[in-house]
Amino acid sequence: MSAKKKYNIRFRIWFYADDDKFLGKGRVELLERIKEVGSITNAAKGMKMSYRQAWQMVKEMNESANEILVEKSLGGKGGGGASITKAGERAITQFHDFEQKVNRFIAEESKKLTI
Amino acid sequence: MSAKKKYNIRFRIWFYADDDKFLGKGRVELLERIKEVGSITNAAKGMKMSYRQAWQMVKEMNESANEILVEKSLGGKGGGGASITKAGERAITQFHDFEQKVNRFIAEESKKLTI
């Protein structure tokens, strides 16, 4: 018999607030980009998404969260910008931390497989 | 401030053998149906899948696994059947157990979120 194959396990996680999608990989990336570029329009461009889609995602996140994650700032050329709140920062950090914990757990558990 | 929302976390897992997809929710369901009905054709029908697709999935699973999961039995009316090997049984059980463990871990970890 040939050497035993090792399986590696991939996963995706999504946070829901009741039945509403709250956070996933894509939304967290959007938050990170808004943080970086200070604008929903430019964050959307970076992800090849329309402003409309990005704004919809921001709206849904803000509505699902206990405290809003993104706030719009007023005025200026190009219609003003957007920034991440403290709750937005926590959302980014905690989503990544969660992914890492699940990743470690899964890597450990996968050693026990005997398929 | 209104009552704090509780987030629930959903996930999907996939087992890979190197870069080849080995098992996922759909494939495990296919194995279970083959076990139940004793035929790839009928298992495929139950999942509204073509025989071709189902056979391709079986082929990929068998190639990725250390021991084949599905074996074809010869002859009979309608071209013979298929059955699940002992390794196939283990694959079904261990995939579900794995999902359950991840589920418990995630439920526990999600209590620590402060978003």
For residue A100, give its domain range.
22-110
Q: Residue A57 contacts by C-beta under 8 Å, 6 or more apart in sequence?
A: A26, A27, A30
In this complex, is the C-beta atom of B9 within 8 Å of any C-beta atom belonging to chain A?
A: yes
Chain B segment 24-63 residues within 8 A of A by beta carbon are none
In a domain, B9, yes or no: no
- Say what the pLDDT of residue A91 is: 97
Residue B41: CA count within 13 A, CB half-sphere? 7
Residues B80-85: contacts with CB under 8 Å, at least 24 apart: B81/B38, B81/B39, B82/B34, B82/B38, B82/B39, B82/B40, B82/B43, B82/B58, B83/B34, B83/B35, B83/B38, B84/B31, B84/B34, B84/B35
Measured between beta carbons, the chain A residues lying within 8 angstroms of B99 are: none
- Convert the pLDDT of each residue in B35-58 to its tens digit: 999 999 999 999 999 999 999 999
CB pairs under 8 A between A and B: 98
Q: Decide which of B3 and A16 is more confident.
A: A16
In a domain, B41, yes or no: yes
Residue B19 pLDDT greater than 60, yes or no: yes
Whichever domain contains A99, its CATH number is 1.10.10.10
State if pTM tops 0.80.
yes
In a domain, A2, yes or no: no
In a domain, A115, yes or no: no
In a domain, B95, yes or no: yes
- Say what the pLDDT of residue B5 is: 78
- Convert the pLDDT of each residue in A52-70 to its tens digit: 999 999 999 999 999 999 9
The structural domain count of chain B equals 1
- Convert the pLDDT of each residue in B73-98 to its tens digit: 876 555 569 999 999 999 999 999 99
In a domain, A27, yes or no: yes
- Say what the pLDDT of residue A115 is: 87
Distance, in angstroms, between B76 CA and closest chain A CA?
Answer: 30
Q: Does the distance separating the beta carbons of A102 and B109 come in below 8 Å?
A: yes
- Say what the pLDDT of residue A73 is: 80
Q: Decide which of A72 and B102 is more confident.
A: B102
- Say what the pLDDT of residue B71 is: 96
In a domain, A77, yes or no: yes
- Say what the pLDDT of residue A1 is: 47
CA A100 – CA A61 distance, rounded (Å): 22
Measured between beta carbons, the chain A residues lying within 8 angstroms of B101 are: 105, 109
- Say what the pLDDT of residue B62 is: 96
User: Which residues of chain A fall short of a pLDDT of 70?
Assistant: 1-3, 75-80
The nearest alpha carbon in chain B to A87 belongs to B115
The nearest alpha carbon in chain A to B114 belongs to A90
In a domain, A26, yes or no: yes
- Say what the pLDDT of residue B79 is: 58
The nearest alpha carbon in chain B to A68 belongs to B115
Measured between beta carbons, the chain B residues lying within 8 angstroms of A12 are: 11-12
